[in-house]
């Protein structure tokens, strides 16, 4: 649920205030594969939602809208036996028109225990034993990352995009336990992704896209995994 209020700072400029409550997700898969066996997880066990807020400034530039915003996120996570974790994130986002045809957009974040938002390669915490054991220690996983995209639109019906993004959990957290455990692979330290595409709109309600995407994942051990994707898509807008 989100509440938004816009303030006219001047004739052309706008300040936007946003606040909301979110489902308190931690990124964990269900504890049981059986759909009839549903138990609350760490976010739900905190008995409160997650909270988020954002403030942004917008102003027209080169016939487009320049926007810069700052946001914050907080969640409470309960892993039982007094093991309470604070999840949080600080974020910065921008849309910067460079001229009539070029636009640079992106976002940057720094947070911990934000696997429910996709940070930390989908992990919120690391632990050194079974979570049902009171002696098991739990630490929040810190992460930093972001993405940037350059858009070139030479005509109303055609645009080209190139982007790069990275999610980088802290190596010191990943190495904290000699045999770390998590609900994802505890040895992963960084995810990178990049893509380039072309989008053609022959009509206002129809588009075609050709894209190449490159993905790369790093481990605390000296190896990495890569994958390439080629996608051809069609969209109908209504």
- In tens, the pLDDT along 133-159 reads 999 999 999 999 999 999 999 999 999
Ramachandran angles phi, psi of 237, nearest 5°: -100, 130
User: Structural domain of residue 85, as residue ranges?
Assistant: 2-236
User: According to DSSP H, which parts of the chain are helical?
Assistant: 42-45, 171-174
Give the pLDDT score at 32. 65
CA distances from 54 to 1, 171, 229 (A): 14, 29, 34
pLDDT of residue 36: 65
- Predicted local distance difference test score (pLDDT) of residue 11: 87
- pTM for the structure as a whole: 0.90
The answer to whether the CB of 150 falls within 8 A of the CB of 196 is no
What tens digit of pLDDT does each residue of 96-130 get?
A: 999 999 999 999 999 999 999 999 999 999 999 99
Q: What CATH number is given to the structural domain containing 226?
A: 2.40.160
- Rounded to 5 degrees, what are φ and ψ at 76? -115, 130
Mean pLDDT of the chain, nearest integer:
95
Residues 6+ apart with CB under 8 A from 40: none
- CA–CA distance from 16 to each of 63, 221, 235 (Å)? 20, 45, 31
Between CA 51 and CA 59 the distance in angstroms is: 27
Question: Structurally, how many domains does the chain consist of?
Answer: 1
User: What radius of gyration do the chain's Cα atoms show?
Assistant: 21
């Amino acid at each position: 649920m989100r509440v938004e209020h816009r303030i006219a700072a001047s004739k052309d400029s706008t300040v936007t205030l946003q606040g909301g409550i979110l489902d308190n997700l931690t990124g964990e898969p269900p504890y049981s594969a059986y759909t009839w066996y549903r138990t609350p997880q760490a976010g739900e066990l905190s008995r409160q939602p997650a909270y988020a807020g954002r403030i942004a400034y917008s102003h027209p530039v080169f016939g487009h809208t320049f926007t810069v915003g700052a946001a914050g996120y907080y969640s409470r996570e309960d892993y039982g036996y007094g093991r309470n974790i604070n999840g949080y994130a600080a974020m910065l986002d921008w849309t910067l028109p460079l001229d009539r045809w070029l636009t640079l957009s992106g976002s940057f974040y720094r947070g911990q225990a934000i696997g429910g938002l996709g940070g930390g390669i989908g992990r919120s915490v690391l632990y050194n034993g079974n979570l049902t054991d009171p002696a098991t220690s739990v630490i929040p996983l810190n992460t930093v990352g972001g993405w940037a995209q350059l858009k070139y639109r030479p005509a109303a019906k055609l645009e080209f995009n190139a982007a790069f993004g990275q999610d980088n959990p802290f190596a010191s957290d990943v190495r904290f336990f000699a045999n770390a455990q998590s609900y994802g692979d505890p040895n992963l330290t960084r995810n990178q992704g990049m893509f380039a595409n072309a989008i053609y709109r022959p009509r206002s309600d129809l588009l075609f896209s050709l894209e190449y995407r490159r993905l790369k994942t790093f481990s605390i051990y000296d190896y990495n995994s890569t994958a390439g994707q080629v996608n051809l898509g069609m969209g109908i807008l209504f």
